[in-house]
């Protein structure tokens, strides 16, 4: 696999995820340490699709991911969140690879490369670490030579790995599809969610809604829902997710993503 040419800002990344004072010592044979770093990123950097509803296509280039999530302190979807984790682990000398997956849906399986996860190690014993499945985190032992280990349960969902190590740019087509196609679950609503280890905060708005819903999930699984205005959503994005925007983001109307980007309906593959 090719190594990204971008120089990874290690100190800025550790500051971003709140561990600058205790630089981690990672080793491929110590999955607990790797998972601890991943969990810290998961608790700090939100899963969000705000840019999709600002008319922008998710960009999977290494430098763009680092700039958005580390320098500009934003969140992202699976390709960005797991892409950042991939880059960080490689910087720490961990043998990490991006693996494509198909998400389980009612009709069976979604599109190829519809999701991306990270695996560490080589040989038969590998460890999957995923910080970008709809705001959930998953870890699992996998064997890329054994398809029986490729189905991963995560939160209320699941996906099936394709077993193929890939470069980040191989996910560009599906990142565009998720950003633009009416059939993508990301084009129908805005979402920003983060689990801080105690509570999960989810801020979301659909096309037909004039404001946002803030759902707070408590440690016992209870949920508290509050309705907030578009203007107040800016305050919540800043206070709960660390995202600083000048204007509220409303879910784009049906077909707008498609028209903005000039792509047809259907799979990019």
Q: What is the pLDDT of residue 269?
A: 29
Q: Mean pLDDT of residues grouped by 10 in the chain (269 residues)?
A: 68 93 69 92 98 97 98 98 98 94 92 97 89 95 93 94 97 98 94 96 93 96 96 97 95 60 36
Residue 63 lies in a domain: yes
Residue 121 within a domain: yes
Residue 16: its H or E element: helix 10-16
219 lies in some domain: no
* pLDDT at res. 23: 72
The pLDDT of residue 122: 84
Q: How many separate domains does the chain show?
A: 1
Runs of H (alpha helix) within the chain: 10-16, 31-44, 62-66, 78-91, 172-180, 230-241, 256-261
Q: Determine the pLDDT at residue 84.
A: 99
CATH number of the domain that residue 145 is part of: 3.30.2140.20
In the chain, how long is the greatest CA-to-CA distance?
Answer: 52
The predicted structure's pLDDT at residue 268: 34
Assess if residue 223 is contained within a domain.
Answer: no
Is 101 inside any structural domain? yes
Query: What number of other Cβ atoms are within 10 A of residue 27's Cβ?
Result: 11
Q: Is residue 212 part of a domain?
A: no
Q: Mind listing the pLDDT tens digit for each residue in 100-125?
A: 999 999 888 999 999 999 999 987 78
How far CA 101 is from CA of 73, 79, 114, 158, 162, in Å, comes to 27, 11, 6, 10, 5
Residue 156 exposure: Cα atoms within 13 Å on the Cβ side: 4
Under DSSP, the state recorded for 169 is G
Does 269 reside within a domain?
no
Residue 162's domain spans which residues? 10-173
- Joined together, the tokens standing for residue 266 give 């259907």
The pTM (predicted TM-score) of the whole model is 0.91
Give Cβ neighbours of residue 56 (< 8 Å, ≥ 6 apart): 179
d(CA 102, CA 110): 5
Q: Does any domain span residue 56?
A: yes
């Amino acid at each position: 696999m090719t190594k990204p040419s971008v120089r990874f800002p290690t100190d800025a990344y550790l500051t971003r995820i709140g561990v600058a004072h205790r630089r981690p010592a990672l080793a491929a044979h110590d999955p607990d340490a790797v998972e601890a770093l991943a969990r810290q990123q998961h608790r700090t950097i939100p899963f969000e699709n705000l840019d999709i509803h600002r008319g922008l296509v998710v960009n999977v280039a290494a430098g763009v991911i680092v700039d958005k999530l580390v320098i500009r302190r934003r969140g992202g979807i699976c390709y960005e969140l797991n892409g950042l984790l991939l880059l960080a682990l490689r910087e720490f000398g961990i043998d990490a690879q991006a693996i494509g997956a198909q998400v389980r849906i009612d009709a069976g399986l979604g599109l190829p490369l519809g999701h991306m996860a990270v695996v560490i190690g080589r040989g038969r014993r590998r460890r999957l670490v995923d910080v970008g499945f709809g705001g959930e985190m998953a870890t699992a032992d996998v064997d890329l030579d054994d398809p029986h280990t490729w189905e991963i349960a995560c939160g209320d969902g699941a996906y099936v790995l394709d077993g193929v190590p890939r470069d980040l740019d191989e996910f560009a087509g599906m990142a565009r599809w998720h950003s633009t196609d009416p059939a993508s679950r990301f084009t129908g609503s805005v979402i920003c969610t983060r689990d801080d280890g105690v509570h999960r905060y989810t801020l979301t708005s659909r096309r037909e809604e004039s404001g946002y819903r803030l759902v707070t999930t408590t440690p016992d699984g209870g949920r508290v829902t509050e309705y907030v205005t578009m203007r107040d959503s800016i305050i919540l994005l800043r206070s709960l997710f660390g995202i600083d925007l000048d204007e509220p983001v409303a879910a784009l109307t049906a077909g707008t993503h498609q028209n903005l980007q000039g792509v047809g309906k259907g799979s990019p593959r």
